Structure 1
């Protein structure tokens, strides 16, 4: 656990690093998790009982805040699924500008030469499942196209 995460109430950086995957495309780049506010825990008589859920504080712009307030039950469910238990009980939305993260654009890969295609087909001819063979061919073509420039 990093000190910055601990200060913000996060047990680890996992939720921040996986935020876009957890909340989906709509909120992944437009909503930023800020901190978790955990309720004070009285002396627990039952150590088996999980702690009370936290409040997740997020930053977003005005229009997204309106959508998020409507979708918050689904977002909470997705976050709790990520954690594996009911860690989040509610979301507190603060309207602040959020720097929209742009998806990095990958440069287009070059097409394979006829020789490279034949070599790849030869390596995959023993794969009996058509869907698996096509998936492996697609992956192999990307690997060859990406690595061919570095091998020279």
Structure 2
């Protein structure tokens, strides 16, 4: 077995050889984000990115997680610090036990024991990153008619034609019903 020797760089210093495959930037971003979130007290960056799913849209509109601090050497019984819109602080104080329960359910173990609130300005997620509507997906009816003629089953062809006409008559993105929050 041959031993790999360090390469000599241009300045004469020893470097270990590079290895591994090329990775896409998107593949490395979760690692970069994870390090930054840990630095600010988050074990999982998903707590921040999925806050609305964890506590519901109603509470996510008026609060945002800032950090989770754990006792020395532990990963349980932490203190979750929230920034809360000032007018909503009394309400959030009353629902703090529910927030602890929901965060612990998200983690799958009793990660948070209590919540500390700090009054601050909350930027709604929708205002932070406005979404662009998807491009129109209206089919070209002439091309569609030709492709549907090849379908032998008349019932299936009729259903697909009705679907295509319905899609062609709509404008913009489909309306999605309001979720619970």
Instruction: Determine the C-alpha separation between the residues in 2 that align with 1:28 and 1:21.
Output: 8
Deviation of 1:7 (Å)? 1.6
Partner of 1:76: 100
Instruction: Determine the C-alpha separation between the residues in 1 that align with 2:132 and 2:156.
Output: 30
Equivalent residue of 2:58, what SS?
A: helix
Partner of 1:64: 88
Deviation of 1:99 (Å)? 2.2
1:25 aligns with 2:53: no
Partner of 2:69: 37
| 1:101 pairs with one of 125, 140, 150 | 125
Partner of 2:45: 13
| TM-score between both structures, scaled by the size of structure 1 | 0.62
Equivalent residue of 1:107, what SS?
A: coil
Q: 1:112 to 1:79 in 2, by over 3 A?
A: same
Extract structure 1 runs of 4+ deviating beyond 6 A. 116-120
| TM-score between both structures, scaled by the size of structure 2 | 0.54
Deviation of 1:111 (Å)? 7.9
Q: Does the 8 Å contact 2:43/2:68 carry over to 1?
A: no
Deviation of 1:10 (Å)? 1.4
Structure 1 segments unaligned to the other structure (5+ residues): 42-49, 127-136, 147-152
Q: Higher helix share goes to which structure?
A: 1
RMSD of aligned Cα (Å): 3.7
Further displaced range: 94-103 or 51-60: 94-103
Deviation of 1:8 (Å)? 2.0
Equivalent residue of 1:102, what SS?
A: helix
Deviation of 1:52 (Å)? 3.7
Equivalent residue of 2:90, what SS?
A: helix
Deviation sequence 1:116-135 (CA, Å, 0-9, x none): 88779x79949xxxxxxxxx
Structure 2 segments unaligned to the other structure (5+ residues): 1-30, 158-162, 173-181
Larger Rg: 2
Number of residue pairs aligned between Structure 1 and Structure 2: 124
Q: 1:113 to 1:62 in 2, by over 3 A?
A: same
Deviation sequence 1:27-73 (CA, Å, 0-9, x none): 213211111111124xxxxxxxx854101001011222111111111
